[in-house]
């Protein structure tokens, strides 16, 4: 991801977003008697801004600023991160919402 333009590389400075529901782990709604869960991955790219990716993860999944930042840094440093898991239908919807926000996301069975 791209660092903030024309600015020193510094910790993210945006104010914490108080989401109505904060979760620390991906939410799963899988029926274990039917199929193994699907996971959703977000992949690194050199264009998306770190702050934007963090914001999108907070907005779409209700992650705290701290957790969303951690996931974003995983994407940035490791190339990818798991951002949600659940049924195939839920994963598909999450991938769609991420694509809608310009992030590159894929899904696969865990």
97 binds other proteins (CB under 8 A): yes
Out of 70, 80, 82, 101, the only residue in the binding site for other proteins (CB under 8 A) is 101
Residue 49's beta-bridge partner residues? 2
Site for other proteins in 77-96 (CB under 8 A): 90, 92-96
Binding mask 23-62 for other proteins (x = CB under 8 A): ----x-x---------------xxxxx-xx--x---xxxx
Query: ∠74-60-94 over CA atoms, to 5°?
Result: 85
CB of residue 36 to other proteins, shortest distance in Å: 15
Round to whole Å and give the CA distance between 30 and 54.
26
DSSP alpha helices (H): ranges in the chain?
Answer: 50-61, 65-78, 88-100
- Rounded distance, CA 62 to CA 68, Å? 9
Tell me the two tokens of residue 23. Answer: 């979760």
Positions that interact with other proteins (CB under 8 A) = 1-8, 10, 13-15, 17-21, 27, 29, 45-49, 51-52, 55, 59-62, 90, 92-97, 99-102, 104-108
């Amino acid at each position: 991801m791209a660092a903030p333009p024309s600015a020193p590389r510094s910790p993210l400075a945006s104010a914490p977003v108080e989401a109505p529901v904060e979760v620390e782990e991906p939410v799963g709604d899988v029926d274990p008697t039917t199929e193994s869960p699907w996971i959703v991955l977000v992949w690194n790219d050199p264009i998306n801004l770190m702050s934007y990716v963090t914001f999108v993860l907070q907005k779409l999944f209700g992650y705290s600023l701290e957790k969303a930042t951690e996931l974003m840094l995983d994407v940035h440093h490791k190339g990818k991160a798991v951002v949600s898991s659940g049924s195939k239908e839920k994963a598909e919807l999450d991938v769609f919402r991420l694509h809608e926000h310009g992030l590159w996301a894929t899904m696969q069975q865990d």
